[in-house]
Structure 1
Amino acid sequence: MSEPDIGNDQHSPELTIALELYDNAPCGSISFFKDGTIYAINQTMLTWLGYTREELVEQRTLPSLFRIGGQIFFETHFFPLIKMQGFVNEVYFDVVRKDNSIFHALINAREIPSKSRQKELFQATILDISDRWKYEKELLHAKRKAEADSKAKAEFLSTISHEIRTPLNTILGIGHLLHETPLNENQKEYARLLLHSSENLLSLVNNLLDLSKIEAQKVTLEQMPFHLGELLELMHETFSVRARAKGIQLDISIAKNVPKHLTGDPVKLNQILTNLIGNAIKFTKTGTVQLAVTVEQKKAETYQIHFSVSDTGIGIPPEKLEAIFQEFSQASYDVSVEFGGTGLGLTICQKLLELHQSKMEVKSTLGKGSTFSFSIWYTAADTPSPTKKAKKERRNLLILKDMDVLVVDDNPDNIFIATQYLDQWEVPYATAESGKKALDMVRKRSFDLILLDLQMPKMDGYETARKLRSLPLKTQPVIVAFSASAAGEVADLLEAAGIDDHLSKPFKPKDFMDTLLEHSSHRKKISADNVNLKPSVAASEGQKKKKTKAASEDTPNTVSFKIDRYAKMANNRPEYIKKFVLSTLDAFATYKQDFQNSVKTKDPEGFSNLIHKSTMSFYYIEADRLGSLLMACRDALQDDTADDGTFKKLAAECQAEFDTIIRGLTHIGET
Structure 2
Amino acid sequence: MFDSISHWRRWFQNRPDREHEITINRQIISLAIFVYVWLIMPGFAEQTFEARMIALAYLCAASVLSIHLLARPGISVVRRVAAIGVDLGLLSIGLYAGGEYVTILYPFYYWIILGNGFRYGVRYLYFGTFVGALGFLLVTQSAEYWLQNQPLGLGLLGGVIILPLYAATLIRSLSQARELAEQANRAKTQFLASVSHELRTPLNAVVGMADLLNDTSLRADQREMVETVRTSSKALLALIDDLLDFASIEAGKITINSAPFHLSRMLSQVREVASLQAGAKGLRFHLHVTPRTPSFLLGDERRLREVLLNLIGNAVKFTEQGRVDLFVDGAPTRNLVSLRFDVSDTGIGIEASARRRIFERFTQADETILNRFGGTGLGLAISQHLVRLQGGEITVESVPGRGSTFSFTLPMALSDTQDEREVDLQDVEVVLLGGDDDQLRWVEERLGQACGSVRKCEDVLQAARILKSPTAGQIQRRIVLLVGDRGLAVISSEGPLKLAEIEAANPYGVFLVGAPSMDATQPVVRKSVSAVLSRDALLSDLTAAMRFVRGGQATVAVRQPLIRRRERSLRILLADDNRVNQKVISRILEAGGHEVSLVEDGEQALDSLERHSFDLVVMDLNMPVMDGIEATKLYRMASLGERYVPIVGLTADATLSAALRAKEAGMDACLTKPVSAPVLLDRIDELTAGQPQAQPVQVPEATQVAPHLGSHDLVDFGMLENLKILGGETFLEEVISAFLTDGGVILDQLQAAVDRGDVPGFNEQVHALQSGSGNVGVHGLAERCRRWRPRSASDLKNHGGEIVSGLRSDFEAARSIFLRDYVSKPFLIIDRRPSDDH
Residue equivalent to 2:686: 518
SS in structure 2 of the partner of residue 241 of structure 1: helix
Matches of 1:387 and 1:312, distance apart in 2? 34
Residue equivalent to 1:424: 591
Matched-pair contact (CA < 8 Å) for 1:252–1:292: yes
SS in structure 2 of the partner of residue 456 of structure 1: coil
Instruction: Percent identity, please.
Output: 31
- The one-letter amino acid paired with 1:501 is A
Residue equivalent to 2:397: 363
Matched-pair contact (CA < 8 Å) for 1:313–1:369: yes
Alpha-carbon deviation of 1:185?
Answer: 6.6
SS in structure 1 of the partner of residue 368 of structure 2: helix
Alpha-carbon deviation of 1:505?
Answer: 0.5
C-alpha distance 175-182 of structure 1, shift in aligned 2 (>3 A) = same
C-alpha distance 117-411 of structure 1, shift in aligned 2 (>3 A) = closer
Matches of 1:525 and 1:84, distance apart in 2? 78
Matched-pair contact (CA < 8 Å) for 1:409–1:434: yes
In the alignment, is residue 383 of structure 1 matched against residue 433 of structure 2?
no
Alpha-carbon deviation of 1:330?
Answer: 1.2
In the alignment, is residue 84 of structure 1 matched against residue 93 of structure 2?
yes
Residue equivalent to 1:277: 312
C-alpha distance 398-414 of structure 1, shift in aligned 2 (>3 A) = closer
Matched-pair contact (CA < 8 Å) for 1:476–1:524: no
Matches of 1:242 and 1:387, distance apart in 2? 27
In the alignment, is residue 316 of structure 1 matched against residue 337 of structure 2?
no
Residue equivalent to 2:568: 401
Matched-pair contact (CA < 8 Å) for 2:319–2:345: yes
Matches of 1:260 and 1:271, distance apart in 2? 18
Higher normalized helix content (fraction of residues)? 2
User: Which has the larger displacement, 383-392 or 373-382?
Assistant: 383-392
Matches of 1:266 and 1:163, distance apart in 2? 26
Matched-pair contact (CA < 8 Å) for 1:226–1:266: yes
Alpha-carbon deviation of 1:299?
Answer: 3.9
Unaligned 5+ residue runs, structure 1?
A: 1-71, 95-103, 527-600, 605-628, 642-671
Matched-pair contact (CA < 8 Å) for 1:400–1:517: no
Alpha-carbon deviation of 1:504?
Answer: 0.4
- The one-letter amino acid paired with 1:247 is G
Aligned length: 460
SS in structure 1 of the partner of residue 418 of structure 2: coil
- The one-letter amino acid paired with 1:320 is A
C-alpha distance 241-392 of structure 1, shift in aligned 2 (>3 A) = closer
Pick from 229, 238, 244: which aligns with 1:203? 238
Residue equivalent to 1:160: 195
- The one-letter amino acid paired with 1:383 is D
C-alpha distance 114-519 of structure 1, shift in aligned 2 (>3 A) = closer
Residue equivalent to 1:434: 601
Correspondence 1:178-189 to 2 at 5 A: 178-183=213-218
Matches of 1:379 and 1:460, distance apart in 2? 46
- The one-letter amino acid paired with 2:403 is G
Residue equivalent to 1:175: 210
Matches of 1:280 and 1:443, distance apart in 2? 57
Correspondence 1:129-168 to 2 at 5 A: 137-168=172-203
Higher normalized strand content (fraction of residues)? 1
Alpha-carbon deviation of 1:295?
Answer: 1.6
Residue equivalent to 1:479: 647
Question: How far does the alpha carbon of each residue in 1:461-495 deviate from its partner, in whole angstroms, 9 at most, with x for none?
Answer: 11111122232564212211100112622243222
Matches of 1:246 and 1:343, distance apart in 2? 21
Question: How far does the alpha carbon of each residue in 1:333-358 deviate from its partner, in whole angstroms, 9 at most, with x for none?
Answer: 11121111111111221222233233
Residue equivalent to 1:449: 616
Question: How far does the alpha carbon of each residue in 1:154-204 deviate from its partner, in whole angstroms, 9 at most, with x for none?
Answer: 111212221221122123323333344345577556545544443333233
Residue equivalent to 2:548: none
Matches of 2:561 and 2:281, distance apart in 1? 43
Residue equivalent to 1:243: 278
Pick from 504, 512, 522: which aligns with 2:672? 504
Alpha-carbon deviation of 1:306?
Answer: 2.2
In the alignment, is residue 344 of structure 1 matched against residue 378 of structure 2?
yes
Matches of 2:596 and 2:389, distance apart in 1? 40
C-alpha distance 80-216 of structure 1, shift in aligned 2 (>3 A) = closer
C-alpha distance 285-603 of structure 1, shift in aligned 2 (>3 A) = same
TM-score normalised to structure 2 length: 0.48
Unaligned 5+ residue runs, structure 2?
A: 1-80, 96-105, 118-128, 422-552, 695-756, 761-786, 802-838
Alpha-carbon deviation of 1:239?
Answer: 1.7
User: Which has the larger displacement, 216-225 or 128-137?
Assistant: 128-137
In the alignment, is residue 214 of structure 1 matched against residue 249 of structure 2?
yes
Alpha-carbon deviation of 1:364?
Answer: 2.5
Matched-pair contact (CA < 8 Å) for 2:329–2:339: yes
Alpha-carbon deviation of 1:149?
Answer: 1.2
Residue equivalent to 2:737: none
Pick from 662, 665, 670: which aligns with 1:494? 662
Pick from 295, 305, 314: which aligns with 2:330? 295
Alpha-carbon deviation of 1:293?
Answer: 1.6
Question: How far does the alpha carbon of each residue in 1:599-627 deviate from its partner, in whole angstroms, 9 at most, with x for none?
Answer: xx9999xxxxxxxxxxxxxxxxxxxxxxx
SS in structure 2 of the partner of residue 149 of structure 1: helix
Residue equivalent to 1:230: 265
C-alpha distance 214-371 of structure 1, shift in aligned 2 (>3 A) = same
User: Which has the larger displacement, 491-500 or 442-451?
Assistant: 442-451
Matched-pair contact (CA < 8 Å) for 1:454–1:483: yes
- The one-letter amino acid paired with 1:334 is T
Alpha-carbon deviation of 1:224?
Answer: 3.5
SS in structure 1 of the partner of residue 327 of structure 2: strand
Question: How far does the alpha carbon of each residue in 1:496-519 deviate from its partner, in whole angstroms, 9 at most, with x for none?
Answer: 211111110112223223323332
Alpha-carbon deviation of 1:456?
Answer: 0.6
Alpha-carbon deviation of 1:265?
Answer: 2.4
SS in structure 2 of the partner of residue 89 of structure 1: helix
C-alpha distance 391-363 of structure 1, shift in aligned 2 (>3 A) = closer
C-alpha distance 405-390 of structure 1, shift in aligned 2 (>3 A) = farther
Residue equivalent to 2:730: none
Correspondence 1:13-162 to 2 at 5 A: 80-86=89-95, 87=106, 88-90=108-110, 91=113, 119=147, 123=153, 124-125=155-156, 137-162=172-197
Alpha-carbon deviation of 1:447?
Answer: 2.8
Larger radius of gyration: 2
Matches of 1:264 and 1:391, distance apart in 2? 29
C-alpha distance 337-132 of structure 1, shift in aligned 2 (>3 A) = farther
- The one-letter amino acid paired with 2:571 is D
C-alpha distance 379-118 of structure 1, shift in aligned 2 (>3 A) = closer
User: Which has the larger displacement, 453-462 or 430-439?
Assistant: 430-439
Matched-pair contact (CA < 8 Å) for 1:408–1:453: yes
In the alignment, is residue 465 of structure 1 matched against residue 465 of structure 2?
no
Matches of 1:176 and 1:329, distance apart in 2? 38
C-alpha distance 369-354 of structure 1, shift in aligned 2 (>3 A) = same
Matched-pair contact (CA < 8 Å) for 1:503–1:515: no
Residue equivalent to 2:579: 412
- The one-letter amino acid paired with 1:462 is I
- The one-letter amino acid paired with 1:366 is P
Question: How far does the alpha carbon of each residue in 1:410-431 deviate from its partner, in whole angstroms, 9 at most, with x for none?
Answer: 1111111112222322233322
C-alpha distance 478-388 of structure 1, shift in aligned 2 (>3 A) = farther
- The one-letter amino acid paired with 2:419 is T
C-alpha distance 473-303 of structure 1, shift in aligned 2 (>3 A) = farther
Alpha-carbon deviation of 1:229?
Answer: 1.3
TM-score normalised to structure 1 length: 0.60
